[in-house]
Amino acid sequence: MGSALGHSSGTGGFLGLWHSDIRPTLALGLPLAGAQLAQMAINTTDVLMIGRLGAEELAAAVLAFNVYMLIWFFGMGVIQAVIPLAARARGQRAMRDMRRSVRMGFWVVALYCLPMWVVMYFTGDILLALGQDPAVSAMAGDYMRVLQWTLLPALLIMAVRGFLTVMERAQVVLFATIAGAVVNAVLDYVLIFGHFGFPRLELVGAGIASVISSASTFGLLALYAAFHQKLKRYFIFGRIWRPDWPVFFQIVRLGWPIGVTIVAEAALFGASAIMIGWIGTLPLAGHGIALQIASLTFMVPVGLSQAAMTRVGLASGRGDRAGIGRAGWTAFGVTFVFMGCFAVLFWTMPETLVSLYLDLDNPDTEAVLAFGASYLIVAALFQLADGGQIIGVNNLRGLGDTTVPLIYALFGYWVVGISLSLGLGFWAGFDGVGIWIGLAGGLATVAILANFRFYRRESLRLIPE
Q: Tell whether the torsion through CA atoms of 147, 151, 152 and 155 is positive or negative.
A: positive
> For 79-92, what is the mean pLDDT?
91
Q: With a cut of 60, say whether residue 3 has pLDDT above it.
A: no
How far is the CA of 377 from the CAs of 2, 369, 381, in angstroms?
33, 12, 8
Coil/strand/helix, residue 441: helix
Give the separation between CA 385 and CA 329, rounded to whole angstroms.
Answer: 15
DSSP class of residue 234 equals G
What's the pLDDT at 16? 59
Coil/strand/helix, residue 195: coil
> For 154-164, what is the mean pLDDT?
94
Domain boundaries, the chain: 28-243, 258-465
What's the pLDDT at 67? 86
Read off the pLDDT of residues 110-144 as tens digits, 9 standing for 90 and up.
Answer: 999 999 999 999 999 988 887 878 888 898 899 99
Q: With a cut of 80, say whether residue 9 has pLDDT above it.
A: no
Residue 266 CB partners (closer than 8 Å, separation 6+): 69, 70, 73
Say if CB 63 and CB 127 are below 8 A apart: yes
Give the separation between CA 45 and CA 188, rounded to whole angstroms.
Answer: 8
pTM of the model: 0.87
Read off the pLDDT of residues 197-249 as tens digits, 9 standing for 90 and up.
Answer: 888 888 899 999 999 999 999 999 999 999 998 888 888 888 888 889 999 99
Nearest one of 339, 357, 335 to 347, comparing CA atoms: 339
> For 389-404, what is the mean pLDDT?
95
The Cβ of residue 62 has, within 10 Å, a number of other Cβ atoms equal to 14
Read off the pLDDT of residues 12-58 as tens digits, 9 standing for 90 and up.
Answer: 555 556 567 888 899 999 999 999 888 888 877 887 788 777 777 87
Nearest one of 11, 6, 38, 62 to 302, comparing CA atoms: 38
Residue 369 CB partners (closer than 8 Å, separation 6+): 286, 351, 354, 355, 358
Give the separation between CA 439 and CA 445, rounded to whole angstroms.
Answer: 10
185, HSE (Cβ side, Cα atoms, 13 Å)? 14
Read off the pLDDT of residues 273-307 as tens digits, 9 standing for 90 and up.
Answer: 888 888 888 888 888 888 888 888 889 999 999 99
Nearest one of 20, 2, 18, 4 to 463, comparing CA atoms: 4
Residue 85 CB partners (closer than 8 Å, separation 6+): 97, 101, 247, 250, 251, 254, 313, 400
What's the pLDDT at 399? 94
Say if CB 268 and CB 435 are below 8 A apart: no
For the chain, the average pLDDT equals 88
Q: With a cut of 60, say whether residue 336 has pLDDT above it.
A: yes
40, HSE (Cβ side, Cα atoms, 13 Å)? 16
